[in-house]
């Protein structure tokens, strides 16, 4: 009788090993492709969320620019007891005439607003936007405190008395007990001075994550980042173009990114270019992007980008 064969021949073993290697390689490729797809989907979702939020934020701020409560001709009636807020320029913060200030396509070669936007933090090619207005809701309405607002001694308020014929910028500490008594005839609105710009880092200097930031004026005369820190990561460029109504018919005759007369502006186009926070494997971005009249050249890197935009009405260009 012949001897019963047991085990594998060398050929069978080699075939099995080859099949195993091929299958393992296939699984590895599938895993890498799935990982890449997940990474792309995750970065895309974050980019969309960040871009849309930035557009919404800037649109709201522009729409509220020059809003000073119920009052018109604020620049003609307004006085101030505040004389020591000199950051960002002498008395710049309490000058309500320029409720929109736009710095187009900055070169990032010099400090802006007296150092409030430091040169080393700027992102070249983006815009810088300064907005002056009051809060959406009054803090005091005829002397009554409007919940959930509170009076902060170091916050600046637009104080109105005598049916709006007396207007002052005051610190909260100057609002008396009589002012804060129901039926006093005194209104108070929190006064806001905000500067929006794209910083070239997020949490740590040199991390390379462009971030939409806001500089706020504080009532004690100091300048600081918003209490919540910078606002939106992955915002690489903001660009604003304004509808200029040259014949006073309420309709823009042209759009410009360098407006000469703020009081002629009736609309704005807001463009935001968002960038993925992280690079994406096996991806090269060789696209150029159009933001209205501005073109951003291809970066030829591994970051995903997308432009978000909207057009809004400027409701307060004439202090109405």
In tens, the pLDDT along 58-91 reads: 999 999 998 998 887 787 777 777 766 667 777 7
Please tell me the predicted confidence (pLDDT) of residue 205.
92
For residue 297, the enclosing domain spans 37-313
Question: Is the pLDDT at 280 greater than 70, yes or no?
Answer: yes
In tens, the pLDDT along 1-47 reads: 555 656 667 676 777 778 778 777 777 776 666 666 667 788 999 99
Burial of 238 (0-12, 13-18, 19+ CB in 10 A): buried
Q: H/E element holding 20?
A: helix 10-64
In tens, the pLDDT along 116-126 reads: 899 999 999 99
In tens, the pLDDT along 149-191 reads: 889 988 889 999 988 788 888 889 999 999 999 999 999 999 9
Q: How many domains does the chain have?
A: 1
Q: Across the chain, what does the average pLDDT equal?
A: 86
Interatomic CA distance for residues 164 and 71, integer angstroms: 6
Tell whether 14 is covered by a domain: no
Tell whether 21 is covered by a domain: no
Please state the rounded mean pLDDT for residues 217-227: 56
Tell whether 10 is covered by a domain: no
Question: Is the pLDDT at 237 greater than 70, yes or no?
Answer: yes
Its pTM stands at 0.84
Long-range Cβ contacts of 247-252 (<8 Å, 24+ apart): none
Please work out, in degrees rounded to the nearest 5, the angle formed at the alpha carbon of residue 281 by the alpha carbons of 278 and 283.
95
β pairing state of 156-161 and 187-199: antiparallel
In tens, the pLDDT along 43-55 reads: 999 999 999 999 9
Cβ neighbours, 10 Å, residue 23? 10
Residue 308 near residue 58 (C-beta atoms within 8 A): no
């Amino acid at each position: 009788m012949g001897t019963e064969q047991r085990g594998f021949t060398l050929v069978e073993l080699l075939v099995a090993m080859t099949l195993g290697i091929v299958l393992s390689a296939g699984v590895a490729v599938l895993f890498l492709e799935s990982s890449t797809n997940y990474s792309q989907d995750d970065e895309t979702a974050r980019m969309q969320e960040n871009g849309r939020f930035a557009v919404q934020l800037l649109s709201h701020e522009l729409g509220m620019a020059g809003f000073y409560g119920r009052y018109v001709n604020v620049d003609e009636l307004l006085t101030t007891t505040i004389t020591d807020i000199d950051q960002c320029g002498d008395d710049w913060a309490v000058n309500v005439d320029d409720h929109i200030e736009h710095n187009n396509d900055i070169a990032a070669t010099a400090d802006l607003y007296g150092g409030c936007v430091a040169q080393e933090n700027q992102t070249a090619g983006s815009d810088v936007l300064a907005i002056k207005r009051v809060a959406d809701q009054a803090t005091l309405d005829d002397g009554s405190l409007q919940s959930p607002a509170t009076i902060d001694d170091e916050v600046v308020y637009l104080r109105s008395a005598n049916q709006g014929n007396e207007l002052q910028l005051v610190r909260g500490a100057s609002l008396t007990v009589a002012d804060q008594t129901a039926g006093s005839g005194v209104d108070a609105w929190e006064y806001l001075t905000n500067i929006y710009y794209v910083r070239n880092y997020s949490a740590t200097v040199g991390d390379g994550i462009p971030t939409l930031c806001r500089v706020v004026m504080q009532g004690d005369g100091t300048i600081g980042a918003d209490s919540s820190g910078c606002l939106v990561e992955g915002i690489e460029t903001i660009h604003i173009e304004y509808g200029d109504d040259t014949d006073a018919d309420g309709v823009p005759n042209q759009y410009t990114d360098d407006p000469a007369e703020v009081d002629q502006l009736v609309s704005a186009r807001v463009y935001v270019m968002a960038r993925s926070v992280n690079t994406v494997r096996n991806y090269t971005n060789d696209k150029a992007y159009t933001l209205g009249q501005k073109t951003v050249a291809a970066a030829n890197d591994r970051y995903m980008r997308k432009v978000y935009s909207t057009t809004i009405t400027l409701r307060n260009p004439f202090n109405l």
